[in-house]
Chains A and B, each alone.
Chain A
């Protein structure tokens, strides 16, 4: 099954095509001011390079975020419009899951981290790899990087742009806790979104093109910011 995968949750365009376990094409266009405007021509480019046209595609996968508010909205909307207008199934995949999957085959806990945009706040989740599945353990995390580091109490693989940005903190935690905590680079891949979507299609699942929404976690993001703010103000007040 040929599936087109799109993820724009980090401003950049990650676009790829998978065909079963094969990757037919995979491209990453770095964020520029107009990168989101070019998404349709970038999709066209990737399809052409893979020797395909939209008609050959049998399903569409979109990265749901969390990440850039505007970024996700564009990718999800484009995916939905393509699906709705061509009558193909669409399927949303949380971007954190895509990153966790990209970290490779491991029995350790995998924790993808995405920077939330300001004030050392991150989105994260913990995933464990089983036979053929990757499952999330617990809820999505939105909060301070320090809070996330506290939650790690076993060997873990950290991945994603947020893990890269706070590499030194994870290395410190590895030393202080004695757990093997490793930061592994993983590039957000459109083909990986496509493969995860293909698995869902294979199980007979898909999402409704009209009602599919980005994974904004905005309520919990708001709560995280407000509680950090009042905690910060309080700590300073108590200190004099």
Chain B
């Protein structure tokens, strides 16, 4: 799959995590800093920790952990946190026309006031606006993961730059 490279401003940050709890906490730190209108595109194979990372983001946004589950079968979960969170999982979808079938564009326009986290986002890259945050997961070991963050657009430049400092 082609990498999305059309955006003018890109910011990068790589985070290495030795254990799931560290990935969760990193997600939480990200979630605490997210503003309304953020789209987070998660890319990585099965079992690489996308849902766990999403739970971290949700914790950072003030969503109670007990409400969060993988939307693999329901496609979309909506949570109420500091901002509304739309948690999407496109694993079961094969073609881009199916993304339209679930009203992907409606969700993208609703994201203006909330946060969208999309698992298996590589399937909808052509639909995403110019500004979004991409998180690519690399499996290093049974528990170790590398998370490569790329912020597209000005909006994410400061956010991604600030993730290194606590």
Judge whether A118 is part of the interface by a CB distance below 8 angstroms: yes
For residue A171, give the distance in angstroms from its CB to the closest CB of chain B.
23
The one of B6, B95, B108 in contact with A118, judged by C-beta atoms closer than 8 angstroms, is B108
Judge whether A3 is part of the interface by a CB distance below 8 angstroms: no
- Docked pose: A116 CA to B99 CA in angstroms: 14
Give the total number of A-B pairs whose CB atoms are below 8 A apart: 63
- Docked pose: A210 CA to B97 CA in angstroms: 23
Judge whether B101 is part of the interface by a CB distance below 8 angstroms: yes
Contact assessment for B2 and A230 in the assembled complex, using a CB-CB cutoff below 8 Å: yes
A58 / chain B contacts, CB cutoff of 8 Å: none
Judge whether B64 is part of the interface by a CB distance below 8 angstroms: no
A119 / chain B contacts, CB cutoff of 8 Å: 127-130
- What is the total number of residues of chain A having a CB less than 8 Å from a CB of chain B? 23
Contact assessment for A219 and B97 in the assembled complex, using a CB-CB cutoff below 8 Å: yes
Q: Contacts A69-B106, A118-B105 given: A222-B5 contact, CB under 8 Å?
A: no
Contact assessment for B127 and A118 in the assembled complex, using a CB-CB cutoff below 8 Å: yes
Contact assessment for B2 and A69 in the assembled complex, using a CB-CB cutoff below 8 Å: no
A232 / chain B contacts, CB cutoff of 8 Å: 6
- Docked pose: A225 CA to B100 CA in angstroms: 11
B2 / chain A contacts, CB cutoff of 8 Å: 229-230, 233
The one of A69, A71, A116, A233 in contact with B4, judged by C-beta atoms closer than 8 angstroms, is A233
A69 / chain B contacts, CB cutoff of 8 Å: 100-101, 103-106
Judge whether A168 is part of the interface by a CB distance below 8 angstroms: no
Contact assessment for A236 and B97 in the assembled complex, using a CB-CB cutoff below 8 Å: no
The one of A71, A218, A225 in contact with B126, judged by C-beta atoms closer than 8 angstroms, is A225
For residue B150, give the distance in angstroms from its CB to the closest CB of chain A.
14
Judge whether A35 is part of the interface by a CB distance below 8 angstroms: no
30 A–B contacts, CB within 8 A, in A order? A68-B103, A68-B109, A69-B100, A69-B104, A70-B106, A118-B105, A118-B109, A118-B127, A118-B129, A119-B127, A119-B128, A119-B129, A216-B100, A218-B97, A218-B100, A218-B101, A219-B97, A221-B105, A222-B99, A225-B96, A226-B96, A229-B126, A230-B2, A230-B126, A232-B6, A233-B4, A233-B5, A233-B6, A236-B5, A236-B6
